[in-house]
Structure 1
Amino acid sequence: MEYTLQPDESVSAGIKRIVAGKVERGIDHIDDEMGDHESVHEVRKRCKEVRAACRLVRPVLPTYSEENAHYRDAARRISDIRDAHAAIETFDDHVRPAVEDADALDADTLDGMRETLVARRDELAAEQDLDARLATVRDDLVEGRQRVDDLPIATNGYDAVAGGLQKSYKRARNRMVEAYEDPGFGRFHEWRKRIKYHRYHSRLLRRVWVGPMKTRRGELKELSDVIGDENDLAEFGIMMHDEDLFAPATRETLDRIIRGRRSELHRRGRPLGERLFAEQPDQLVDRLGVYWTATHEYAPDP
């Protein structure tokens, strides 16, 4: 199911189609046994996509709070295991390359660190009974799917999406300002979440003008990746200290390298964010409203 509202369908029908498709895909990820940790990652993504779709019509969906909490809680059942696997990915994709570039630790030390992270993940998966948790998440998704056709979306047309679009964009814009005023982990973590919601909403609204919206989504993807990498490094540093992973001297070396890399990512994210969130919320909503009218009422974009 394409994650996009189509010009020839009502907003209500489109949101229900999209939510149903993503929920069913999440169930398929669990049933297909694509690999436990890959299943965890994909199911969590599907829950985020469902929540973003509901968030777009939040002002006209009276049951938004219940639906949002349902999929949020389903994803949380497997969040610790996902975080443990993400720590290995962060090590492979960011920490180890940065350490090797700095020639700061030898290969045996790095290999031992990775073994520690893998053992940590596998132990957590066993303790929390990953199979049982995925089975419970599947039940959550089946329950949610049963409600999709009755989602009480109160209106259609651009009015149905304008309020949710404005709220998500405004929050992302405000969180950017706060992150650069006080560049700690919490502020950038919050900004990252809001960037993702606005990116999902830009994807849902891509048909209002395909070319410009594709460009915007591409820029949002780049920004999301940059701030996502920053967040992953910050979480890695917090985790290794909280759990006393690795030798103290190794943690000290990693702290220095992670701080430097996070600063680089902060600098990379700033110009992207300033461009993407330059407009006032009302201006962005009005501009996309003109696109919506042109596409839905005059000349639907092929």
Structure 2
Amino acid sequence: MAFFLLASEPLPDGLRRIAREETEKALSLLESDQDLHFVVHETRKSMKKLRAIIRLVRDQVGQNTYRSENIRYRDLARRISGLRDLGAIQETWTVLEGRTRSKVLNTLIQKGKTEVQARLDAAAAAGNKEIATHISEAAVILRSALAKLETLDLGADRFKTIAPSLRRVYHRGYRGLKLARRMPTTEYLHQWRKRVKYLLYQMEILQPSWPELMTPWALALQQLSQLLGTDHDLAVLSETIEAGGLLNGRQQGKAQLLRLVDSYREELMAEILPLGHHLYALPPKAFPKMIGKWYHTWRQYPDT
């Protein structure tokens, strides 16, 4: 299974194949006996990839179809999310463990991990059956999506059919960078990360246009997405503690712990913003033109 275009296939055929294979991969996971949390994680990733694809053909399928399919994939991912947020907080505790030698902070972190693990265990005992039911329902929905995919008109075998959509996704990430730089709120950074991931998956699809440049570009987008994801997890942890959702009543070291989180987020932003400026250096109008030239050169000389 290749999550990228092949030289032997017309553009609409390639996009349909990629979407079909990603859907079938998700279906295989949903209908397997693998670890529930692994299934949820990988299926959610597939839904993000499918949403990136439907964005790429947005102008071809029409606004109504785009909206309905995008909502279908979005809601399916939400349906099976289950314990993801608690799991992310637990992973964040583990990350913080390695960033301090303070006995007070490490004691607090261990107490926080114990609290979250107790909630995870309780939620798993009560919710795994419910999640399994949602997974079964999601498989039915995905089979319907697969049938719909085969009927979609994805346009002609020309790059210009996807150029406006590519520009739109890039432009929103470009705008997200500017907003994050001016007002680095948790919500703005979270929304920017979504735009980064859509562009990442679209660059992976178009990677054969010039692998020597687009592969490292995609890897840099992946790095940016991971940095933004870590920042978001830290922000959620901090907000949960401040709201009394964790370590409630434990005052000793709490302010110091929040400072540790803030310090780590500052370090992350010192990496995030320069990397973002590198990746979104081109004006939005220029971006699809450049990718289009690479794509046409690849189509003209597929064996080089």
TM-score by length of 2: 0.92
| 8 Å contact from structure 2 (residues 105, 257) kept in 1 | no
Whether the aligned pair in 2 keeps the contact of 1:57 and 1:163 (CA below 8 Å) is no
Which residue is 2:116 aligned to? Answer: 117
Cα contact 2:92–2:233 (8 A) shared by 1: yes
Q: Decide whether aligned partners of structure 1 residues 230 and 8 sit closer, same or farther in structure 2, where only a CA change above 3 A counts.
A: same
Q: What is the CA–CA distance in structure 2 between the aligned matches of 1:30 and 1:10, rounded to whole Å?
A: 30
- CA-CA distance at 1:8 after TM superposition: 2.0
The amino acid of 1:8's aligned partner reads: S
Residue in structure 2 matching 1:87, options 69, 89, 112: 89
For 1:242 and 1:155, the matched residues in 2 are separated by 53
Residues 23 and 46 of structure 1 are in contact (CA less than 8 Å); yes or no, is this contact kept in structure 2? yes
Aligned counterparts of 1:240 and 1:145: Cα–Cα separation in 2: 42
How is 1:92-241 mapped onto 2 (pairs within 5 angstroms)? 92=94, 94-98=95-99, 100-107=100-107, 109-128=108-127, 129-241=130-242
Q: CA deviation at 1:252?
A: 2.6
Deviation at 1:301, TM superposition (A): 4.4
CA contact (8 A) 1:227 1:269 kept: yes
Counterpart of 2:204, as a letter, is: R
Q: Which residue of 2 aligns with 1:252?
A: 255
Which residue is equivalent to 1:32?
32
Q: Deviations over 1:131-164 (max 9, x none)?
A: 1122122222122112221122133320122111
Stretch deviating more after TM superposition (132-141 or 263-272): 132-141
Note closer, same or farther for the CA distance 1:263–1:151 as it changes in structure 2 (3 Å cut).
same
Instruction: Give the partner amino acid of 2:194.
Output: K
Q: Of the candidates 289, 293, 299, which is equivalent to residue 290 of structure 1?
A: 293
Taking the aligned partners of 2:183 and 2:192, their CA distance within structure 1 comes to 12
Task: Give the deviation of 1:79 after TM superposition.
Answer: 2.7
Does the 8 Å CA contact 1:61/1:151 hold for their aligned counterparts? yes
Aligned pair in 2 of structure 1 residues 233, 173: CA closer, same or farther (>3 Å)? same
TM-score (ref. length: structure 1)? 0.92
RMSD after superposition: 1.8
Letter in 2 for 1:271: P
Report the CA distance shift for 1:75/1:101 in structure 2 as closer, same or farther (over 3 A). Answer: same
TM-superposed CA distance for 1:37, in Å, is 1.2
Q: Report the Cα distance in structure 1 between the residues aligned to 2:125 and 2:155, rounded to whole angstroms.
A: 45
Work out the number of aligned pairs and report it.
Answer: 298
Q: Distance in 2 between matches of 1:248 and 1:11?
A: 59
Alignment partners' CA distance in 2, 1:66 and 1:243: 38
Query: Which deviates the most, 274-283 or 29-38?
Result: 29-38
> How much does 1:80 deviate?
4.5
Residues 203-248 of structure 1: CA distance to partner in whole angstroms, max 9, x if unpaired?
1110111111012112112211211211111122223344521124
